[in-house]
Amino acid sequence: MQAFDLYAILPELVLLIVTCLLLVLSVYVRENPSSTPRVEQDVFHTPRGVGFVYFFSIILLAYLIFLFVGRMGDVSLVAMNGLFQSDPFSNLLKACSCGAVLVSLIYSKKYLQDRGMFRPDFIVLALLALLGQMVLISGANLLTLYLGLELMALPMYALVAMRHSSEKSVEAAIKYFILGALASGFLLYGMSMLYGVTGSLDLIEIFKIVADPRINHLVMAFGLVFIVAGLAFKLGVVPFHMWVPDVYQGAPTAVTLMIAAAPKLAAFALLFRLLVNTLLPLLGDWQPMLVLLAVLSLVVGNVTAIAQTNIKRMLAYSAIAQMGFVLLGMLSVFDDHAFSASMFYAITYVLTTLGTFGLLMILSRKGYDCETLDGLKGLNKTHPWFAFIGLVMMFSLAGIPPTVGFAAKLGVLEALVDAEHTFLAVIAVLASLVGAFYYLRVVKVMYFDQPDHEITVTGSGFAKGILGLNSILVLVIGIVPAGLMSLCLDAMRRTLLGS
């Protein structure tokens, strides 16, 4: 191992070592018994050491964010004998992923305490899932990509099932595990066929071999179908979306946020690494598949969401439609503006998702989860500030100016028009109009319906402050999107040139 190898994987090493140490040290750290709240049935106390683990996890994540932001000016390098790559693309996505997990933990603390889930193992599993996302984002080899994918998925299965007293959570975990294993099998089988044709696991080497017209195109096409199917499962797009609504609804809201936010960035990175960095010569084979997946996701996701009264289930179908937009941005493969628009869309969608689920957790309390439209009735009459935050998040998801969702959708639509995919742009606009109905329905419930129950706001002042900052960012980036857009464009250009 050379010095630059160690430099490249240093953040992942720090995350892994500190996470394992926090789990072990939590057993030996004593906390003030008077400050440990009781939970649900008033039988169990918050486990010893959880406050210690939580505090140092927040510090660790903040350190990693600054570390990755500082590395964004570095040149692209491939380390660990071609297994791992560090480039501006990966550093930006890793910084955003660490930020998403950091904010998720801040929002989740009170929610987890009230349900007896604020335990060291919850935090450690979240950090291990983040480690898998970081490995996946920087994968330069089929083996690294698959290991990162599994390291991200396995802790998520455990997180969904952590509230084992809930039948819904256990059912959601079983569905998530079975369908996730099926998706991993699809992806692994496609990778094995790719290896069988090219004789290599290295992404750069595969790119060179695939460009040779003498390869067995039929076997490559079959392998590509399995790879795209596996990617579609992980993104949760139609027709591989069946796990998304059940898992979103069945998992505790804190876990749903862990699934809905940072993993989307890792899935986008996997899509980019495999299709653009590796299989670009097979553009004529995988581009029509992405078109079909994107259109189906936009139509099915938005139309089905109209019938939902459970907010988490509605947001699940919304996520399916939003991933359709991300796929549309990947169609203009010879335009780095299109790639950066898709990347910008993924990052800003995660930002909006954090605020949306953060609001749901702050409106939940011990023994009650804010999951239905009825739970938001008359929110403006009792808590106008939080109603405004909900309005900003719904407007952003719907793509209404001046929120960041409008800038993100506009960027993808411009890329489609520039690539002469005008018909797809029209379909995307029409699907967004359908989606605006159920987003605005939430606003109508908050502002115009009469409250039929007591609405209680929980959570620490710090969590509420972060939620307010989240909503302000959604507005500010929507009004002035040039900074983040140029950051995404610069990262994408330098990565493509480096590869």
Instruction: Give the distance between the most distant pair of CA atoms in the chain.
Output: 72
Q: Under a CB-based contact definition with an 8 Å cutoff, are residues 325 and 301 in contact? A: no
pLDDT at 33: 47
| Distance in angstroms (rounded) separating the CA atoms of residues 123 and 67 | 21
DSSP for 156-183, please give it: HHHHHTS-TT-HHHHHHHHHHHHHHHHH
Terminal CA-CA length for the chain: 22
CA distance readout (Å), 468 to 96, 388, 393, 483: 18, 10, 11, 21
pLDDT at 333: 62
Q: Which amino acid type is present at position 286?
A: W
Q: Which amino acid type is present at position 132?
A: G
pLDDT at 32: 52
Q: Under a CB-based contact definition with an 8 Å cutoff, are residues 324 and 237 in contact? A: yes
Pairing assessment for the beta strands 77-79 and 84-86 based on DSSP bridges: antiparallel
Q: Under a CB-based contact definition with an 8 Å cutoff, are residues 209 and 215 in contact? A: yes
pLDDT at 124: 93
Q: Under a CB-based contact definition with an 8 Å cutoff, are residues 112 and 118 in contact? A: yes
| Distance in angstroms (rounded) separating the CA atoms of residues 423 and 417 | 9
The DSSP output letter for 35 is G
DSSP 3-state of 237: coil
State whether the Cα torsion 478-484-486-490 is positive or negative: negative
In whole angstroms, how large is the CA radius of gyration of the chain?
22
| Distance in angstroms (rounded) separating the CA atoms of residues 66 and 138 | 18
- With DSSP H G I counted as helix, E B as strand and the rest as coil, what are the percentages for the chain, rounded to 5? 75, 5, 20
Which tokens is 64 given?
């990693």
pLDDT tens digits, one per residue of 217-250? 788 888 899 999 988 988 889 888 888 999 999 8
Q: pTM of the full predicted structure? A: 0.92
Counting as low any pLDDT under 50, the low residues of the chain are: 33-44
Q: Where are the beta strands (DSSP E) in 108-170?
A: none
CA distance readout (Å), 306 to 309, 369, 373, 435, 437: 8, 21, 12, 8, 7
pLDDT at 451: 79
Which string of b and e fits 314-344 if b means at least 16 CB within 10 Å? Answer: bbbbbbbbbbbbbbbbbbbbeebbbbbbbbb
The DSSP output letter for 75 is P
Question: Which residue matches tokens 């930002």?
Answer: 351
Cα torsion for 123, 126, 127, 131, to the nearest 10°?
Answer: 170
Q: Under a CB-based contact definition with an 8 Å cutoff, are residues 331 and 421 in contact? A: yes
